[in-house]
């Protein structure tokens, strides 16, 4: 038995324990800190179990640091997967979230806990230094480096109440674990944290993996994989039932290539130019600009208020261009301070600053051959604006701490909610950078300026969330649609989408009732947001389109609606023209290109005298 374990240990290579994840990352490297960003609805148990099982197979000990799980749960779920003496627990839960409840504390006096090797209970987990001391104590046991699982950065935040304290500890431990050539899992619940916190964590670590859930299907997105080639920012399905352990030895490269190819085709279909929902003149102009931008290789500047869909347009531009098979890498320039944003964009070399324990290629090199989307580009500091300008002009830059010049082939799509010309006058944005970015300007108008798109968007979001929730909420009464049309939508399309998602989830039947709308929408008066002359504002075609959509939305059964709509339009037209007294029947027949016999039949049918 001992020789078998030694043989397996010699063959051990760093792994997450899930072949599909390893392949998506381009491999796991000794010293990696792997941050798992877990969406609500996704359980992290499977990822931890596979990792622990792979460590056992490779003869590598595991140290589990618990903030969110009781020691009893950890022993039952994970410690049992390992041989005696290999699984160690540092318990921050029992005296933290567990409130020192005797139910949890008695675990440490229970002889049945022998699956956990010498567990350490931290009586004062609110003090981060206690955790560091425990890590030193446990890490020196046995004489061999262990792999680590920190079950929740979110749990640290709940306990310590300060994101900066969590980031400081994370930034302190990551390089030390890297120096030990160990692997460390860090789990974080994405929705519990600010974008700024997540951006700092992503900057510090070597690997960032997001796991989300939509339509009952898990999707895995690699946001960072330093020092290797990976499909950054491209979601791919993750079939955990099908996914096998990397120790199975089965070659999956052909299958993975086929899956990535199919995923690329799905994204190109999803983000076709005509995938943008709307029928207004503004949207038609937007479609034309997006198509033009996709055919070009020039820089694109997308402007518009928050929630209008700037990132959607960036996706459309990329996936309809000749770079669609290349990476689409996204960076929020407003989420990181200047120093972190610089290394995130341009990379750094080992030793460039404290904590730079290995070379990091940066987002420009990750986007080579594809598109780099710079959201909130107006938040970039003047110094970084100069470096960005050089890349746009020369396609070259130097990573932080290096004198070596890198050359990249990257198409820039930038976005901002600010008026950059005003920023230029205020001295906060370079005019030469503005001209470099603004080669193809695309402005997305707010939803308040295109109310005629609201019925189409309502229909689109109802269909989307009915499909995701397996519901049939399809009926929108006239009074509800009138309220939606009257509201000013300061949060734009994103606010409307949230409103429809809530309605689908909360509706007790198949109808979006007035009570399901947020209070500010229910209390909005029709004359408070809509133009007093909607026909002149939107055009008669748009008004007619709105009326047709309202009719369709207010009826559960669309069968026969075509004839009803056409007959109603025709009758209204004939009645109005005859009632005007301007035309005889002979003149009206000539005007409408009808024979007099056909006109008389239509008048009789509609009972028009």
Contact 113, 119 (CB under 8 A): yes
Angle at 258 between CA 252 and CA 261, to 5 degrees: 140
The Cα 269–Cα 249 span in angstroms is 34
Same structural domain, 184 and 47: yes
What sign does the dihedral 302-307-308-313 (CA atoms) show?
positive
Residue 386 to residue 369: CA distance in whole angstroms: 22
Single residue among 265, 284, 311 that ends a domain in this structure: 265
148: helix, coil or strand? strand
Mean pLDDT over 413-425 rounds to 93
Give the sign of the dihedral formed by CA 72, CA 73, CA 76, CA 80: negative
pTM score: 0.60
What is the pLDDT confidence band of residue 143, given thresholds at 50, 70 and 90?
low
Domain count, the chain: 4
Query: Contacts by 356-362 with C-beta closer than 8 Å and gap 24+?
Result: 356/401, 357/31, 357/174, 357/175, 357/178, 357/179, 358/31, 358/178, 358/206, 358/226, 358/227, 359/226, 359/227, 359/399, 360/206, 360/226, 360/227, 360/399, 361/226, 361/227, 361/399, 362/399
User: How confident is the model at residue 63, as a pLDDT?
Assistant: 92
Domain ends where: 232, 265, 298?
265
CATH number at residue 218: 3.40.50.300
248: pLDDT strictly greater than 50: no
* CA-wise closest residue to 352 among 389, 403, 397, 405: 403
Residue 453 DSSP one-character state: G
**Lowest mean pLDDT, pick from 59-73, 220-234, 310-324, 499-513:** 220-234
The verdict on 542 and 440 lying in the same domain is no
Last residue of a domain, one of 445, 480, 502: 445
Does the structure show a pLDDT above 60 at 106? yes
In this prediction, residue 69 carries a pLDDT of: 85
Same domain for 419 and 307, yes or no, is yes
Q: What is the pLDDT of residues 38-55, one digit of tens each?
A: 886 677 788 899 999 999
Burial environment of residue 48 by CB neighbours within 10 A (0 to 12, 13 to 18, 19 or more): buried
589 and 454 in a common domain: no
CATH of the domain at 462: 1.10.8.60
**Length of the chain as a residue count:** 609
Asked if 233 and 344 sit in the same domain, the reply is no
Sign of CA dihedral 272, 274, 277, 280: positive
Structure confidence by residue, pLDDT tens digits, 112-132:
555 666 788 888 888 888 888
Residues 427 and 452 in one domain: no
**Residues β-bridged to residue 158:** none
Same domain, 255 and 150: yes
Percentage of residues in the chain having pLDDT higher than 70: 85
Residue 592 and residue 501 in one domain:
no
Claim to verify: residue 302 and residue 233 sit in the same structural domain: no
pLDDT in tens, 315-324: 999 989 988 8
Angle among Cα 542, 300, 228 to the nearest 5 degrees reads 125
Q: Do 585 and 599 lie in a common domain?
A: yes
Ordered DSSP codes for 51-114:
HHHHHHHTT--EEEEESSS-HHHHHHHTGGGS-TTSEEEEE-STTTTTTT-HHHHGGGG-GGGG
Q: Where are the beta strands (DSSP E) in 411-535?
A: 411-416, 440-444
pLDDT, tens digit, 9 for 90 and up, residues 583-606:
888 888 888 888 888 888 888 888
Q: Are residues 544 and 595 in the same domain?
A: no
Query: What is the C-alpha separation between 249 and 19, in angstroms, rounded?
Result: 10
CB-count exposure of residue 49 (10 Å: 0-12, 13-18, 19+): middle
340-350 pLDDT, tens digit per residue, is 889 889 988 88
pLDDT tens, position by position, 508-547: 998 999 999 998 898 876 544 444 344 334 456 666 776 7
- Structural domain including 319 reads 273-445
Average pLDDT over residues 23-28: 86
Same domain, 39 and 99: yes
Res 247 pLDDT > 50: no
Q: pLDDT confidence of 423, banded at 50, 70, 90?
A: very high
């Amino acid at each position: 038995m001992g020789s078998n374990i030694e043989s397996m240990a010699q063959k051990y290579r760093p792994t997450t324990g899930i072949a599909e994840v390893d392949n998506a990352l381009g491999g796991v490297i000794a010293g990696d800190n792997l941050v798992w960003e877990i969406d609500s609805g996704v359980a992290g148990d499977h990822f931890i179990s596979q990792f622990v099982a792979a460590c056992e197979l490779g003869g590598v000990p595991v140290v589990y640091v618990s903030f969110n799980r009781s020691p009893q749960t950890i022993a039952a779920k994970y410690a049992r997967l390992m041989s005696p003496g290999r699984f160690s627990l540092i318990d921050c839960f029992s005296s933290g979230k567990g409130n020192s409840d005797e139910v949890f504390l008695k675990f440490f006096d229970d002889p049945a806990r022998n699956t956990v090797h010498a567990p350490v209970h931290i009586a004062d987990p609110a003090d981060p230094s206690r955790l560091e001391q425990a890590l030193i104590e446990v890490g020196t046991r046995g004489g061999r480096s262990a792999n680590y699982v920190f079950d929740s950065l979110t749990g640290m935040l709940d306990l310590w109440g300060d994101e900066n304290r969590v980031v400081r500890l994370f930034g302190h431990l990551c390089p030390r674990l890297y120096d030990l050539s160990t692997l460390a899992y860090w789990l974080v619940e994405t929705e519990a944290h600010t974008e700024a916190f997540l951006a700092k964590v992503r900057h510090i670590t070597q690997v960032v993996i997001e796991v989300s859930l939509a339509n009952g299907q898990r999707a895995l997105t690699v946001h960072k994989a330093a020092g290797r080639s990976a499909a950054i920012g491209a979601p791919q399905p993750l079939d955990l039932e099908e996914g096998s352990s990397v120790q199975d030895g089965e070659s999956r490269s052909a299958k993975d290539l086929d899956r990535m190819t199919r995923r690329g085709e799905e994204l190109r279909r999803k983000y076709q130019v005509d995938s943008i929902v709307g029928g207004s003149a503004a949207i038609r102009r937007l479609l034309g600009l997006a198509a033009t931008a996709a055919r070009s290789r020039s820089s694109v500047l997308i402007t518009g208020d928050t929630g209008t869909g700037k990132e959607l347009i960036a996706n459309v531009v990329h996936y309809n261009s000749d770079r669609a098979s290349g990476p689409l890498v996204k960076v929020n320039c407003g989420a990181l301070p200047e120093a972190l944003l610089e290394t995130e964009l341009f990379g750094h070399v080992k030793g460039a600053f404290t904590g730079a324990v290995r070379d990091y290629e940066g987002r420009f090199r990750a986007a080579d051959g594809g598109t780099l989307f710079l959201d909130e580009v107006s938040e970039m500091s003047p110094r970084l604006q100069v470096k960005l300008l050089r890349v746009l002009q020369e396609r070259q830059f130097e990573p932080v701490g290096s004198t070596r010049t890198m050359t990249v082939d990257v198409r820039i799509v930038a976005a901002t909610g600010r008026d950059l010309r005003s920023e230029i006058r205020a001295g906060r944005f370079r005019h030469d950078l503005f001209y470099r970015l603004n080669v193809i300007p695309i402005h997305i108008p707010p939803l308040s300026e295109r109310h005629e798109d609201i019925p189409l968007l309502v229909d689109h979001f109802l269909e989307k969330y009915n499909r995701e929730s397996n519901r049939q909420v399809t009926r929108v009464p006239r009074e509800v649609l009138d309220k939606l049309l009257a509201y000013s939508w300061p949060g734009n399309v994103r606010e409307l989408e949230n409103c429809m998602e809530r309605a689908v989830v909360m509706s007790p039947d198949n109808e979006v009732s007035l009570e399901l709308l947020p209070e500010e929408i229910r209390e909005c008066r029709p004359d408070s947001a809509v133009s007093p002359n909607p026909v002149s504002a939107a055009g008669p075609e748009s008004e007619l389109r709105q009326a047709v959509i309202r009719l369709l939305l207010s009826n559960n059964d669309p069968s026969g609606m075509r004839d009803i709509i056409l007959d109603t339009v025709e009758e209204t037209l004939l009645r109005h023209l005859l009632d005007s007294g301007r035309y005889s029947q002979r003149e009206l027949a000539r005007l409408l290109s009808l024979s007099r016999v056909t006109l008389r039949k239509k008048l009789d049918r509609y009972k028009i005298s």
